[in-house]
Structure 1
């Protein structure tokens, strides 16, 4: 049993009206919310993963002057809110709800059909608990048809005029024929807006004209040409309903499918494509539809499917225009796929059968010609350009552009005489034209001469051509010839100075460009290695990744070590470690150890050094005794005191009293201090002092003197300590160090009971630097006297 319980709410809000009604059906409550407005508005349902509506938002461009409080009747919750875009009413269900638009006014319209609209003036939201009341909804099947349902009834019969015998009088409407003919002329003249106006007026004046289907067809065609797809669809659906047997159905199906495709309604588009291909496959418009279907696939990124439909269209049509369009599209896609040769085949078909088609797609044809030039196929580019040129009036500006392009393309194709003919034609027709200078340069390029046999004159000539023509074809060729000549003359640096210009040359047109640059880099690196310019040589090797023959390994290794590129040095040395020659292995093993040390690989360096010592035991090679120094340094880095002691003795034996080892002796002093080994400390401290005295170079003072003096004091040898400290009297020292020296002398003199000498030393300490810690200690010491 259905009945209304109450009218819960009716709110007129200045153009917006809300009405909430409640009822029961078979004992189950439901509510219906009506939303009405004077202008159409949108309501959008949000569904969950089970297809149930969980929210409805109705949006209005402006907020009502009168708002309402939130509504909650147990089935629906309704509230309004202002947003930056206008006003929104949000409806939430307590259990379930469904949104319906009210599209048709049955008091005014004679038929209805299922319509999925985005906007309406009246929307219904039904809230319920389990089952949708009042109506039954079912999902449409794939084979269902949306027939319109006529609800008009009792339409009175109509009888036209009769003659005396009672037969209908046939009255000829002359004006609608005239309008129809004018409309066709307008369409032929591509005045599509006039077509639409004429068709609309004729249908209004003569709604029952016998030309109604033709008028509608021309409207559809015009909307198609103008790209007004929404209007096309509105009309084409009427046409297909009312004239399903018309001979133009295939054409309308093609335009309808294309229109849906253009507005992004792909499922609807595919429906009409299927109808076209299933029902009208023999029609010429089926081939056109295949092109539209291909364009749809192309837009979605499915190039493979697009090509299949273009090929079907090309293979099935006898219409030259459709075939040309399909072939052109295939040529475009083959270019995208990188199939230049296949693309050129399609271009040749168009150029042979329908060359004027290129003019119909002028901009795209120009782009295609340029693409073929970029793909090194100037021959095909010239075919396109020649077809465009032959169909272009000489009075048009684009004529000279096409003529210039054709000349350049023919020149690139190697057709020198034909290119010269086109260049001369341009210069005769457009002596002061926009491209006259470019054409003259191209013409000069046809007659490019080889360089002079005299290198200096040849280079000057190329420089003149480069300066005159810059980065055009003549200038580029001159640059290439100049580089070849410079390489021949072994002027490597000059070639590398123009390297960036050479890299801009087309490698296909100038195939030796990279080889010229590589040979120049190799030649220049060899020169640098011979001259000992290591930084420059290693920079070139890194920049150009140069690989020289093994005869250059020694020079490269020394330069790598000199520039601290130990990783490179290691790679070079590695190649020689398995040589059959003991001497070669000794040399490269020594180099490898130094490299490993430079990389901080001290364990590996020690291992390699020990191997080298073994080889040196087999065959002496005194210049390689330097390995002991490397081993000592590695042991020092590793904190291996035993190794340091072992290797310092080998150093002393191989290089006695060599000042190069003074820092190693100083490190032995530090080792003695660490071990509290006074003998070790004193032994190497004295060696350091002896080396300094012999060379008059005091790099380790006063550290070494202070250390030795302290060691003597540790053993009670104050007199020896005093002697060592007094050696510093002749050295230049900073004030703080001098203050320290004098304080230490004073302290020893005081210990020895020499008060006067002690006082003198303490005063000297204060004088040297009274603010230092040593000066302050000296002052305190004087206070004890």
Structure 2
């Protein structure tokens, strides 16, 4: 402001000198300016409009030009280089410069400038300051000593770090940020260096760098409590604790983020990731509550889109199809680029929608993907074919034909071209959807009016034929009773043939998609003859539904196969099913046969054989063998959660053998595995039993370590009371009576602590 009139200064800079010129109106007043640069900037410049200027930049061939249109009074002037760079001041303004300014103003005269005086008789000459130069030493400190500044200043380092992160070079970002923190520990950018170091680790691999992210984030929170980027760091820390399975810690930081920084966009993101934490814990109702909070309070469309997408995913998982589609369509209508930014994920979503028969939406996504990619893209052909196939599936045969033709025009010898050429011939016959629909209506009328007659039988056969061509297999299955009632033998034979074709197709589709329920129904209700290539699929389905008897029968049918490899595969499965059915003697005999036949190929043919072998040995009382095998397996399967069941068996085997050391080893290894996987099927039994054994050994310190580590189990009721009691007793035995007393007090305050709470109270009174 000058004299209550606003003005602005527009700076135009480049690393190389460039030319700017003015354009004048009929009054001689400058109204626009054009600046030409040798090369375009790295980032595209969008048009800008302010109260004083409109700026529009365009690239033509090898030059880059910016047009600045003035909305009010203005003038342009080049700034001369510093005196230390050019000691001569020219009499005329430079035609090229690295730095130009345009001043826009509303007053009659330029701000802070008097009207230049005009002289008719003048003598112009350049002024040279070279003779007046004196020696300089640069900046000095408080003692008058020269200050030496490193060439790479901290702001430059910060910009380099930021650019590396934006380019996705996360390892480079981490290294640059680490070096900057070391080189500039007192910089005003210290918090940014530390923040980018954390962000780089998160983006590179959050799961791999959990410990370091926690350490750095806590350092940031401690040092920069008022930093504007604190919400972002709180979000990273909460996400890491979620990944580690430390949900209480995650909840603390999510709550702090949402409560203390509710106006930050990271608070909205925090709500979304907080929802993910509850989803991982199996509480999808709480998860959706947080997603909805983010959705309704989001401050930008991308965050709202992410929240809506998460809600849609949870809705899909809980078979709430209408709700999922509603949220996805909101994203599609307002921010479809969010769904399309990852083409592979968008394609998977389209396929998922098509599988749910939401064909219109699936087609829209595939068409948008086609519009965004070149024909040379590997996905283009499949997308084109799927659009045609989905149009056909939704009954729009005319559109299906058009898209099939588009496919053949683009890929005359493509992956699907032969199939499409044959399919089009059949499709053209029934392409008039109205005729097919009308025909079905007429057939239904004939079946109804001439029930029990030859006319009705033939109408039923014709109806099945149309339904089969239209792939409406479920409707054909619903006609099974009517087919059985057909009196005409020839018509009945044709109907049964088409019915069986529908059943076989449904079974083949189920096997291809690995859908077990449909496959089993087709076999058991409609008598599908299972081809050898689908028997493994059927076996897996029986196992999935714990139909072990059926799975065993299927496996035993192959114990005489000619190919040794096939016989071994099914013999391995026989061992597994006999073990699952607890027919251990038979399982042991099958196990011996397998080992004799497989020789050294046991591990390759049947990798899970040792797991079943342990259960068999235990059931047959071979406890020493059980313990030995478990030790061997732990060396190669130490992170396999299935080992938890074996460690439990190993403990029982050691207990029955009277081997207390092996009992401790089994329990200790079981607890360690559960903690590493954040899954505790045998807790708190395993921990309490391990504490008991350590107490018998008088290893109170070790017992206390186990008890302290149980904090994360979130025990309740009597289990929590017992945990307090065990800790209190151990602290008392170790001479830490004050600590023990506090624990007993906490135990006494519990609700529903049962007998263990009474023991705590008794211990406290003593």
Q: If the length of structure 1 is used for normalisation, what is the TM-score? A: 0.39
Q: If the length of structure 2 is used for normalisation, what is the TM-score? A: 0.40
Largest Rg, 1 or 2: 1
Instruction: Answer 1 or 2: higher relative contact order, Cα 8 Å, separation at least 6.
Output: 2
